[in-house]
Amino acid sequence: MKTALTNTHVFTGEEWLEAATVIINGRIIEAVGTSIDIPDDVDCVRNLNGEKLVPGFIDVQVNGGGGVMFNQDTSLAGLRSIAQAHRRYGTTGMLPTLITDDRPVMEAAVTAMQEALDNNEPGILGIHLEGPYLNRVRKGVHQEDKIRSMETDALDLLSRLTAGKTLVTLAPEKNTSGIIRQLVERGVLVAAGHTAGVYDDYQAAFSEGLSCFTHLFNAMTPMESREPGAVGAALDNDDSWCGLIVDGYHVHPATLRSAIKAKKRGKMMLVTDAMATVGSDQDFFELYGQKIYSREGRCTTAEGVLAGAHLDMATAVRNSVELLSLSHDEALRMASLYPAEFLGLGNELGRIEKGYRASMVLLDDAGLVLDTWIDGRDTGMDGLDI
């Protein structure tokens, strides 16, 4: 199947092309430009009426969506529901995220993810295991009695997937020397999060291959005058990536603006930390047997503890422009190109260029999602499974 998308304002990942055409051949972008003749073998021509076509958003921290929490539905059907809910908001690639839980739940989650990857489920790039090897001092909403030391056979579980990407969030200071290196050698991406370490802990972790900080500022040691902590280590290191939750609740906009200015360009990426309420009419869900409420875009326990976010990627992009005064171009890169590069997929996702996978989002002038394509397939505006 070959498709031509015409009369569209294309953001390639680097520049905007006015009145451009994109030719899709199967899963791949065959051509992009402003003066392209439509090939005779094109099966479908669609006029996009001057709307904006941008690289598909990639979210590496998605706890739930569409009324489903991954922790409570570790099945292929659950993964499909989460991915379907988020692609309505431009997410064409994601890492469904399992937060701290018991070993059988982790086993079931990895099994379901393997099934999803074997089945080429649209938009699912791999799994994020956020815990349970964390620091109770910075547990956030993670259940304290489920946080634990790494089991002797945990490496096999954490590196079990035979396809896709695996991201593990752990507290470096609570894990034995060499663990991060062993994970990285097995192809696992390792992030620091829910951590109470000191600067030197992260220097040791960097030397082993630590490459990311999960939701920067939240559930980690702050930067202080004589102890840089996790935040200082993250901003000081040019090679690591940082996930940012730009919802106006998790981190003050001024703090985020300062961090973005301090960090090497290309290393800050938007994440949603989304919960089940995203893409759903419900305003609460259950986690660890307690109700979590979504009010005015903020997810909290009854006691007011932040518990993930009611945030989608399209909103995160708009917030980055409106709250952080970022250019639209840079906000889009933080939602697509930079996470693609973090995952090692920067040569196939995050750009609208010849040879790249045709995963794209159509936006109107207000930044609202009109349509999405995943690997060349139009998902439709109704968000139904493809």
Catalytic residues: 273
Burial class, 281, CB count within 10 angstroms (exposed 0-12 / middle 13-18 / buried 19+)? exposed
Helices (H), 199-262: 199-208, 229-236, 253-262
Burial 212-248 (b: 16+ CB within 10 A, else e): bbbbbbbbbbebeeeebbbbbbbbbbeebbbbbbbbb
Sign of CA dihedral 306, 307, 308, 310: negative
Q: Does 244 belong to an annotated binding site?
A: no
Contact 161, 190 (CB under 8 A): no
Interatomic CA distance for residues 313 and 363, integer angstroms: 12
Interatomic CA distance for residues 71 and 82, integer angstroms: 12
Q: Does 308 belong to an annotated binding site?
A: yes
Q: Does 310 belong to an annotated binding site?
A: no
Q: Does 194 belong to an annotated binding site?
A: yes
End-to-end alpha carbon distance in the chain: 15
Q: Does 237 belong to an annotated binding site?
A: no
Name residue, tokens 């709250």. 323
Sign of CA dihedral 75, 81, 82, 87: positive
Contact 32, 352 (CB under 8 A): yes
> And the tokens for 188?
């696992």
Q: Does 190 belong to an annotated binding site?
A: no
Q: Does 219 belong to an annotated binding site?
A: yes
Q: Does 215 belong to an annotated binding site?
A: yes
Q: Does 141 belong to an annotated binding site?
A: yes
Nearest to 131 by CA among 104, 107, 149, 113: 149
Task: Please state the residue numbers annotated as binding site for Zn(2+).
Answer: 130, 194, 215
Task: Please state the residue numbers annotated as binding site.
Answer: 130, 141, 194, 215, 218-219, 226, 250, 306-308
Task: Please state the residue numbers annotated as binding site for substrate.
Answer: 141, 218-219, 226, 250, 306-308
